Structures are given as C-alpha cells and as structure tokens.
Chains A and B, each alone.
Chain A
Amino acid sequence: MPTVVLMDVSLSMTRPVSLDGIEEFQRKNLAVHGLNMLFEHMASNYRLEFTSLMAFSSLWELLVPFTRDYNALQEALSNLEDYDKTCVEAALNGVSNVVQQEWGSACPCQLQMTDAMDNLEELLRLSGGDGQIFTMEGPLCMKSVQTMFGKLIDLVYSPFHAVLHCGNLSSDVQVFPRPEPVVMDEEVEPMPRTVSTDLEIVGFIEIADIASPPVISRHLVLPIAVNKDVDEVGTGTTDELEEEPSASQMAGKSPNFCVLLHGSLKVEGMVALVQLGPEWYGMLYSQADSKKKSNLMMSLFDPGPEPLPWLGKISHLGPISEAADNPYGEDDSKSPFPVQPQVKRSYAQNVTVWIKASGLQTDVQKILRNARKLPDKTQTFYKELNRLRKAALAFGFWELLKGVADLLERECTMLPDSAHPDAAFQLSHAAQQLKLASTGDSQYAAFDHNIVPMHTDFSS
C-alpha cells in the first residue's frame, strides 16, 4: 500500500517550541525529525513501500513522486521552505490527483500529515472510517515525536514475517505489503481477523479451476534469512573484509522452499491453496512481472469456509489420488469444478414466470405448436403442458387451465383430414385433464402429478 506524506509547510509550522529554555525548535523541525525517523525505518525494514512527499499550504506541490529511494525523500525534507496558510482541501485534491495518476482508483493508500487540526476526525469519518489519527502525548519535544512515530511504525510499517509450510518443507518469508486485519461482521465478529504467521499450504489446484477468483488483497512473498540478527541487506563492506558471509548470503546459497514452490507453480500452471487462519484461505501463485521476471505472490480470499462458490467448501477438497475415480477423468478430459449447487439457480432450471404477458403467450404458443405436430411431438407436447399446468396450479390461475383446455379442443376440431388419428385422442385427453385440474379436485390438481399421454394403439 503506497504512502503519501503530506507535509504542512504553512507559517504555523514555524511556531517555536520552547524546551525549558535550553534549545528552540520550530514545529517544522519536530515534524522533519519524525519523518526522518520514519524514512530511516522504511529504508531498512520496509524498503518495498512506495512513498511520495507532498508539501502544502494554500497551494500544494509534489516534492518527491512515488519512490523507494528514501535518500531522495530525506533530501527533500531538508530543503523545505515556508509558505502562507494551511488549506487542507486543496491539498487533499492534490493527493487524489497524484494517487490516481500513479495507481488508479482501486488502490488503497496511506496518508500522512503533520500538523495538528481539529477537523481531522471528521475527515477520517468522511473517508470511510479506515484510518487513524496519531497525536503527541505530553509536551511538544523530540522525545514525544519519536514516541508518536514509533507507534505509527509499529502499527503500519512493521514488516510481516511468517513461516510458509508445506508438509515437512518450510521457509521463512516476508509478506509485503503486510496483510491488514479484516472485520467480517461488525456485530457477530467485531474482532478483526489477522493473518496467521504460520501459512500452511493445504493443496494445489489448476489455474483453470480456480479461475481468476476475487481477492481482498495481493502480496509479494519473499524468502528471508533465518538469522534475523544479521543485517538482511548485507552491506558491501563485509565482503571486502572477507568476514563470515551474512545470513542473507547464506540463505541465497542454500536451497529454499519458496524457490522450489515458485518454480513448480509456474511450470505446472497451478496455484497453491494456503490456509491463513481458522476458516480463512488464500492462494500462492507465480505472477509475471515482465517476460523475464516473475514473483511468488499470495492473494487473500474473503474469510470464510467457502470463499469461492465454484470450489465448494475448501475443507471438502482433497487429493485426487484419494477419490474413487479421478475427478479429472483418466484422460484429463473433465473437471470437478465448478461445483454444482444443491439447488439450481432459477436461470439454470426451466422456471415459469408470467409477469410479462409475453412469457405466458410464449408458453401457450409452445404447447399449440407441438399440438399441431402430434403424435410426433407427443413427449414435448406433454412436457410443456405439464410445465404450464404446474405453474397455473401454484399461482392459483385456474382460469388459464380452462382457457388452454378450450384452445386444445379447438385445435382438435381444426385438425386436417390427413392428421394422424392419435392427434385427436391426445388433444381431447389433454384438454379433459386440464379441465379436471382446474376444478381444484385434489385427485387431479396435485402439484407433483403429471398428465401422461393417453395410451392408444395406433402403432404402425
């Protein structure tokens, strides 16, 4: 999640902060000090974060566009100038522009500002409630600034480390950006769900079967050195001095499960289903950055036992080898997915809706069309007839049953001489049955009863 630092450079920020007469700082200096602390932290622990620096007074200015170059950000901080008055509305518009240009509208963004204002809470509420205001506790001094930024760092910029497990194989990983907690139902489950630091692969599935599923967030999964005491970045000096290789260098040389997993997923065209916590799943997959480079990524599904309806409950999935018959067929010609729902959706069954007159007319015409092709279309004729009969009974539309019976009788009288004798028998039989149903007599008007073709003996 990219970060925008929006720095107030109005005159109010130049107000002095008296520190028992020892030294004098401006508010601006405190802010710069805190931001430097933040940038230093990010440079060493959260390097992948893109950050941009904007300054505002009554106007706004983009000082540093989104970058991972924290030196550039610090450099810009040291060259701040003072301007007139605070005007946050214009600045927020500016943020909106900058963010949309770089990231599009679908990207959540962290926003940092460094001036005290009364209406910040209202602003937070308007923006959808996802945010937090950090204020300084105690007097305005370097120490409280450090405490405040320390809190911010812990809450938002501490790297997320986890162990990725697959049976007996495992790897220490960093998940970037850190997965944020998710509130499922503010009432039943008000506590946010957090991603476990033990990520367990539960199985593998074809990309075609998981079919570009909806996800709540996407993250890079990066293997990390196990020995966290050693500087993970590994500076050049250690090499020159020919000291013991750093942990990350060692890690680079020993086989790592992440590498195996990434390569395998890429080659096989599959994703790994990973359990993130109780009844919470995600997927690991290879995502191509460019033609040459690809990354191991993890996407989080909505928490719940059945995040993707077409897979059914994740806990009901199992290894192919344990199925009685290979669900993909011996020749890989079929797939068990999508899982069919127990009750078919209305559009997957032949439902009857007569809200529009055309719906009713179509259904009646279908019966008449088949009636004229009796006895060839006997099966279709009765199928359509029974469908209409069922709906008419459910809707209490007995008048329609009588009407259609009349129509069938009329068809009977209009049969050409060349017609098969069976046609007349079937038409009058069907008409009679509809009439009986329209009386509501339980013997003939039962919903599950079907009118069956009259048994005739014209077999020739």
Chain B
Amino acid sequence: MKMFSVAHKTVFVVDHCPYMAESSRQQVECDVLTKSRAQGVIPLAPVSKSLWTCAVECSMEYCRILYDIYPKDKLVNYIVSDSEFHILNSWRREDQSTHELMSALAAVGPPNPREDPECCSILHGLVAAVESLCKITELQHEKRIALMDTAERVANRGRIICLTNAKSDTHVRMLEDCIQETIIEQNKLAAGSDRLMAIQQCELVLVHIYPQGEDTLVSDRPKKEISPLLTSEVHSVRAGRHLATKLNILVQQHFDLASTTITNIPMKEEQHANTSANYDVELLHHRDAHLEFFKSGDLHMAGTSTRENGLKETVTLKWCTPRTNSIELHYCTGAYRISPTDVNSRPSSCLTNFLLNGKLDSSQFLPAERAKAQLERHTRYWPMIISQTTIFNMQAVVPLANLIVKETLTDEDVLTCQKTVYNLVDMERKNDPLPISTVGSRGKGPKRDEQYRIMWNELETLVKTHAGATDRHQRVLDCIIACRSKPPEEEDRKKRGRKREEREDRTEKNGNKETDDKSWQDSERLKGLMDKDEQESEVIKDSPDSPEPLNKKPRLTSEEIQPPERSKGPVSLLTMWSNRITAVNSRKHQEFFGRASSVNNKFELYQHLKDENGMDVHENGKATR
C-alpha cells in the first residue's frame, strides 16, 4: 500500500437526520433471567437499536480495527450530517482514537425525531467531507517539507464512507453528482492554498442502511468510475448484524487485511476454575502475514474456511503454548499488528491478556546520538587482546576506568579516580604483583618495576584520551603524572628543560613518553616492545607457536638502569634530588665495565674465579682425603 493511497484519509459521513432515529427492529434481550430467579418476575421488554446506533457502533468497530492495525497515519475524519454538518475530529494524530470519537458522538446524541426532515440532508456532510479531504494532514505536510523540490510526489487521495438511508437510486446518483461537483470546486480553491491539496482520487463507499423486515429502495452496485477523480460503490444493507458484517468486510478490503483463526487455545473455564476447555479466536491483520503460505502453496493445508458471505476466508492455525527462550534469536520474516474481531469476548481477552503479559513499565529514552558519543568515548583506548592490557585486568583500576569515560565528572568522581591512583601507588610500594601476561615470554616476564612502568604508561594513555574533555578529567591525568614513578631519564629531562631536538633524538633512541600525538597502538604498546631491545612483534610472541625470544643482549644505555628505590611509589624531595645528581654524575664518568655489560642489570662478579676455583675445590677435596 502506498503511503498516500486512498487509505491514508477516510472520512466517515453518518446520517443524523430524523429517520435515522427509527428502530432497526433487531431486538436485543438484555434481561437474561437465571432459572432460579425466574419465578414471578416479569422480564424486561427487549430493547432495540436505532438505525443511528447501528451505524455508529459499526463505524466505531471499523475505526477500532483500523487504529489497532495502523496506529499511525491511516486517519479518520468523522462527520455527522443533519440540518448542518458537525465535524467531530480533525486529521491531527492526537484526534485519532476511538475514545475521542465516542466522546464527540456522545455530545451529538441520537437524531432528534422531531426535527424538520425538510431541512436535514446527508449532503451537508458529504460537502464537508470533500472539503476535509482537501485539508493537508501532518504526514502530507512532513513529507512535502522533506521532499523539497519533489514535493509533488505527495499525493492527495481519500475515501468517503457514507452511512445513510437513501431514498432511491436516483437519490444516490444525485449525491454522487454533487460530490463530483464539489471536488472540482474545492480543487480550484486548493490550487491557491498552502494548507489545502487538490484531490487526485476519491473513493465513495455509500452504505444504505434500512430497518429489518423492510424492502430496500436502493440497489447494490459495484465500484464504478464517475470521473477520473471519483469512483463510487453502493452497498444496501439491513441494520444490525448485517451492517456489522458489511463494515468488517469493508475494513479488510480497504486496508489489505486478512483473517487468521487461532484454534484450540486452552483456557480456564469461568465457572469451574479447575477445568479447561479449548477456544478459537479470530484475528485480523495485514494480509502479507499470509504471503508465505501462498508462496509455498500450503494454504489449503493450513486450513481455510469460507465465511458466510463467501467473500472472506480465514486461515486456521493451531495454538502452540510458546516455550519462552528469550536468549535465542529466531529467524523471523514478518511481524504484524493484530486486532481481534470479537474484542471483548472472553477467549479474545484471555488471549490478548496472555500476550500483553502485564508489561507496563514505561521509561524515558535518550537520543541515539548520545549513544554514539558514548561508544566513541568508550573506544578511545580499547585493547583488543586481553593479554596486551594490564590495567583492564586489574580490579584496582576498575573505578577509574569506569569513571574516566564519562562525559562529565563530579568532584566526587575525581576523588574516586585519585583514590584509585593512590591505591596503585600503594600497591607499587608494597611490590604487589601485576597481571602482566607472561604468555610466550618464556620465563618470568618483565621485572616488577618494569611491570609497573608498563601499567602506568597504559593508565596514562587511557586517561590522556579523555583529559581534554573537562578540567576534572585533566585533574585525573595530572594526578597520575604527579604520582607515578618515572624512569630516571624523564626526570632528567624535566629538569634540564625540554628541548625539542633532544626529544626527537630520544624518541628515536628509546621511544620515550612524549608521543601524545601518536595513537596508543604505536606509542604505548609498541614502546614496550622497543624498550625490550626491539624484540619480535608482540602479536607473534603471544602465540604458542612463536619462535624463541631473541638472545638477551646486555643493555648499554645507562638510562635503562633504575635504582631499586625508584620503583617504590612517591619519593621524597631528597631522593628525587639525589637521584638526579646520581643520574647526572653517572654521565660524567666512564661506565663501569660490569654495568655496561650487564644482563638485565645484573652482572656476575668474579667470573674468572669460576673456572679456577672450581678446579681448586676439586683438588682441595682430593687433598683432604
């Protein structure tokens, strides 16, 4: 169905002239006496609905089904006509509900049988209906604005359903001619207006309603073209259940609906709570729901039955009590809104209540743009391999990691982050082990102080990606920089002032920390590798089949040597000063042979004694014997 097919706008024009107050002559017994109370009680005389009541309740049923299945943008405008027209609602979305219409209908009340019939006509309403079809709906307006220069693609079509008691076929023809003329007039008016649209297609469905037991004065007529703008069809129907059936068929035709009957639904009996019987419930829905049946040619297998009028069929499906497994995704080609044909019957309401299942929480939602922004923040630093991260393996970092990705931080958040940092400093002082992966690194992996250096670098990288967000984020970064232990060369550099050339030089030499402009991949992660004398790529190292690590070479650069106390958290001014002096001084003398040729900062002393002494011991032993 096109967005702006005739189904977009439906005008109900219901006759409110005095003759509609006549009885439908279909009687309803509403005093159903139970046997025990029947003695001596005179039952109430049956009531009968007027033609008006029949027309109103059937049109409301049409609207109920329509609104259930198309809650949006299939619109109804309800007009009643007597000595003038009364428009009960507008095309606006907020006016589209049966409750709104019922309220307006109550205000109108039943037709006044004493009104002068000469003044009353359905024509007032029909003219108003054409005028109404020219009025632009919210959806038409929105689409015209969205399409800009192709706004002419927004069509204006509509349907008029007229429930009346016509006098004759000639009378019907007169009504059709009158509608045709009004369309032409109104289209001229619409051409010069922004809020009106010319009608491109109008479908008149005239339903002639007459009391039971009378002969009809109007003949049925299938759809015919009155003009390129107007088609018309006439249905002559007895009031009461015939009218209800007719409008039920019409709503299905008008909105591409089809019927499915769910059979064998087990349900507790009302009277006997411990017994259960099987019921059937008929549902209406978009006919596409049956598409797959037709494709497979299985429709007859699913079971169809023809209804009384031979026009509509219903597909029967057998109820299966669903095994709810909400953690599984099933392949689903279609989901369709439904409306029970008999909405307040007990089986229908049992079924719908079961399906609605009392989920009535409502909550406010936030724009998706904020979700995207959050994803962006959360993925600024996101190691993809678990063994390549230290901080995300540490429970102690969790509070900070959770907070730092927030768009804004409170002072309390900053405090929590700072506490996390202090806690890490404390761990470092206590020399607590870190969850640094040793997979593939054959041996114990990096030393403790090296581990902490990697951890601090990673933490700093994480926080740096957020530091620009707010001052409070920056404060967290400042805290880390102030508290973390640093390799001596960095301390040196700070005190000597940061000269650009020198920095570049160092970057080349040993990959230093001032590489803010690089992403984490090439700075932090790779730096760790470069520091380890540019071993093979870490990715390979992590694989169980990776080659042996390269032979450990003695470190030659004095910068790599860290005094043991360096790794133990915050240091006193004195220590910092003496470290600096030591570092500076260390450059002023030739490096000790032992330190220069150490392996992992270790150098075995008195190596030459090994061979000689070994021999001695042996000899001595021999000698003692």
Answer whether residue B47 sits at the interface, using C-beta atoms and an 8 A cutoff. Answer: yes
Complex CA distance for A346 and B66, rounded to whole angstroms: 10
Are B368 and A257 neighbours in the complex by a CB distance under 8 Å? no
Q: Does B591 contact A (CB under 8 A)?
A: no
> Within B45-65, which residues are at the interface with A (CB < 8 Å)?
45, 47-50, 52-53, 56-58, 60-61, 64-65
Residues of B within 8 A of A348 (CB): 352, 356
In the assembled complex, the CB of A109 is this many whole angstroms from the nearest CB of chain B, namely 12
Complex Cα distance, B507 from A282, in Å, reads: 45
Closest to B328 in A: A207
Produce 1/0 per residue, B343-363, CB < 8 A to A. Answer: 111001100100010011111
A88 interfacial contact with B, CB 8 Å: no
Chain B nearest CB, measured from A241 CB (Å) = 20
Contact B382 A169 (CB under 8 A): yes
B:343-401 near A, CB below 8 Å? 343-345, 348-349, 352, 356, 359-372, 374-380, 382, 384-385, 388
How many angstroms from the CA of A316 to the CA of B326 in the assembled complex? 23
Q: Known contacts A393-B106, A395-B56, A395-B105; decide if A327 and B359 are in contact (CB<8 Å).
A: no
B4 interfacial contact with A, CB 8 Å? yes
B-chain residues with CB within 8 Å of residue A324 when the two chains form the complex: 364
Q: Are A105 and B4 in contact (CB under 8 A)?
A: no
Taking a contact as CB atoms closer than 8 A, the residue among B44, B143, B370 that contacts A319 in the complex is: B370
Q: Which partner residue on chain B sits nearest A338 by CB separation?
A: B359
B366 x A323 contact (CB < 8 A): yes
- Chain B interface extent, by class: 35 or more
Partner pick for B109 among A319, A335, A351, A396, CB 8 A cutoff? A396
The answer to whether residues A212 and B339 also contact, given A312-B365, A318-B366, A353-B344 and a CB cut-off of 8 A, is: no
- Stretch binding the partner chain, chosen from B95-103, B189-197, B437-445, B616-624: B95-103
Pick the most buried of B57, B68, B539: most chain A CB atoms within 10 A of its CB: B57
In the complex, how many angstroms separate the beta carbon of A259 from the nearest chain B beta carbon? 8
Q: Is the CB of A355 within 8 A of B244?
A: yes
- CB contacts (< 8 Å) of A285 on chain B: these are 329
Q: Mark B293-309, 1 if CB is under 8 A from A, else 0.
A: 00111000000000000
A167-B376, A447-B102 are known contacts. Are A336 and B363 too (CB-CB below 8 A)? yes
A439 to B358, CA, bound (A): 40
Per a CB cutoff under 8 Å, which of A106, A202, A203 touches B292? A106
Judged by a CB distance under 8 angstroms, whether A330 is at the interface is: no
Interface contact B98-A346, CB-CB below 8 Å: yes
Complex Cα spacing A399 to B48, Å: 8
State the Cβ distance, A279 to closest chain B Cβ, in Å. Answer: 10
Question: Which stretch, B27-35, B228-236, B466-474, touches the partner chain A?
Answer: B27-35
Contact residue among B2, B102, B371 (Cβ-Cβ distance under 8 Å from A317): B371
B110, CB-defined interface residue at 8 Å: yes
Query: Do residues A396 and B56 form an inter-chain contact, with CB atoms below 8 A?
Result: yes
B477 at the binding interface (Cβ < 8 Å):
no
> Which of these, A100, A187, A287, A398, contacts B110 with CB under 8 Å?
A398
A168 within 8 A of B: yes
Q: How far is the CB of A444 from chain B (nearest CB, A)?
A: 12
| Complex Cα–Cα for A308 and B364 (A) | 17
- Which of A319, A355, A414 makes the CB contact (< 8 A) with B371? A319
CA distance A309 to B335 in the complex (A): 10
A355 touching B368, Cβ below 8 Å? no
Q: Does A166 contact B (CB under 8 A)?
A: yes
Quick one: given A354-B57, A355-B61, A445-B109, are A347 and B340 in contact (CB under 8 Å)? yes
B75 CB to nearest A CB, Å: 13
- Report the minimum CB–CB distance from B45 to chain A (whole Å): 8
Contact pick for B333, options A169, A215, A335, A391, CB 8 Å? A215
Which residues of B, 99-156, contact A by the 8 Å Cβ criterion? 99, 101-103, 105-111, 143, 147, 153-155
Residues of chain B contacted by A341 (CB below 8 angstroms):
71
Q: Are B61 and A105 in contact (CB under 8 A)?
A: no
Partner of A403, one of B44, B96, B344: B44
Q: Quote the shortest CB–CB distance from B69 to chain A (angstroms).
A: 9
Distance in Å: Cβ of B36 to nearest Cβ of chain A: 12
| Whole-angstrom CA separation of A314 from B372 in the bound complex | 12
* Known contacts A253-B540, A355-B244, A360-B28; A347/B348 CB under 8 A: yes
A residues near B385, Cβ cutoff 8 Å? 255
A residues 107-160 near B (Cβ < 8 Å) are: none
- A407: which of B29, B31, B65 is its contact (CB, 8 Å)? B31
Bound state CA distance, A137 and B365, in angstroms?
57
Would you call B333 and A214 a contact (CB within 8 A)?
A: yes
Query: How far, in angstroms, from A404 to B28 measured CA to CA in the complex?
Result: 13
* A residues in contact with B3, CB < 8 Å: 185, 187-188
Residue in B closest to A313 when the chains form the complex, CB atoms: B365
Q: Does A93 contact B (CB under 8 A)?
A: no
Kindly supply a per-residue 1/0 record for chain A positions 301-321, scoring 1 wherever the CB is within 8 Å of any chain B CB and 0 otherwise: 000000011001011111101
| Cα–Cα, bound, A169→B368 (Å) | 18
B380 lies within 8 A of A347 (CB): no
> In the complex, what distance in Å separates the CA atom of A202 from the CA atom of B244?
48
Q: In the complex, which residue of chain B has the Cβ closest to the Cβ of A216? A: B333
Q: Chain A residue with minimal CB distance to B107?
A: A447
Identify the closest chain B residue to A369 (Cβ): B34
**Assembly CA distance A391 to B2 (angstroms):** 35
> Is B220 located at the chain interface by the 8 A CB criterion?
no
**When A188-B147, A316-B365, A360-B30 are in contact, do A346 and B64 touch as well, CB less than 8 Å?**
yes
Pick from B56, B153, B384: contact of A187, CB below 8 A: B153
Q: Are B47 and A403 in contact (CB under 8 A)?
A: yes
A35 to chain B, nearest CB (A): 29
Among A207, A327, A351, A394, the one with the most B-chain Cβ atoms within 10 Å of its Cβ is: A394
Q: Is B361 a contact of A334 with CB atoms below 8 Å?
A: yes
Whether the Cβ atoms of A339 and B241 lie closer than 8 Å is no
Within 8 Å CB of A322, what residues of B? Answer: 366, 370, 374
A399 to B32, CA, bound (A): 17
| A227: interface (CB < 8 Å) | no
Chain A nearest Cβ from B285, distance in angstroms: 12
Query: Are A211 and B44 in contact (CB-based, < 8 A)?
Result: no
Residue of B nearest to A309 (CB): B337
Determine if B379 and A169 form an interchain contact, defined as CB atoms under 8 angstroms apart: yes
Docked-complex contact A105 and B103, CB < 8 angstroms: no
A448 to B100, CA, bound (A): 11
A357–B244 alpha-carbon span in the complex (Å): 12
- Is A186 part of the binding interface, using a Cβ–Cβ cutoff of 8 Å? yes
Q: List, in ascending order, chain A residues with CB within 8 A of B447's CB.
A: none
A212 to B335, CA, bound (A): 10
Residues in B neighbouring A42, C-beta threshold 8 A: none
Tell me the smallest distance from the CB of B18 to a CB of chain A, in Å.
Answer: 13
Within 8 Å by CB of A445, from B106, B378, B388, lies: B106
- The answer to whether A271 and B363 have CB atoms under 8 Å apart is no
Q: A211-B326, A253-B540, A396-B110 are in contact. Are A187 and B2 (CB under 8 A)?
A: yes
| Any B CB within 8 A of the CB of A208 | yes
Considering the complex, give the chain A residue whose CB is closest to the CB of B293.
A105
Query: Contact: A255 with B375, CB < 8 Å?
Result: no
> Hey, which chain B residues are within 8 Å of A214, CB to CB?
332-335
Contact B105 A396 (CB under 8 A): yes
Is there a chain A Cβ closer than 8 Å to B499's Cβ?
no
Interface assignment of A16: CB less than 8 Å from any CB of chain B: no
Cross-chain pairs A/B with CB under 8 angstroms, 18 sampled:
A105-B295, A105-B297, A106-B333, A187-B153, A189-B153, A202-B375, A203-B368, A213-B335, A255-B385, A315-B368, A319-B370, A336-B362, A347-B352, A361-B28, A390-B106, A410-B41, A414-B41, A446-B106
- Given known contacts A203-B375, A447-B107, what 20 new A-B pairs fall within 8 Å (CB)? A167-B377, A167-B378, A203-B372, A212-B332, A218-B331, A314-B368, A318-B365, A323-B366, A325-B363, A341-B71, A343-B71, A346-B339, A353-B61, A361-B32, A364-B32, A395-B57, A396-B111, A403-B47, A445-B106, A448-B103
Interface of A toward B, CB cutoff 8 Å:
100, 104-106, 166-169, 185-190, 200-203, 207-208, 210-215, 218, 253-257, 259-260, 269, 271, 285, 287, 308-309, 312, 314-319, 321-325, 327, 334-341, 343, 345-348, 350-362, 364-365, 390-391, 393-400, 403-404, 406-407, 410, 414, 440, 445-448
Q: Which 4 A-B pairs have the closest CB atoms?
A: A318-B366, A167-B379, A396-B110, A208-B326
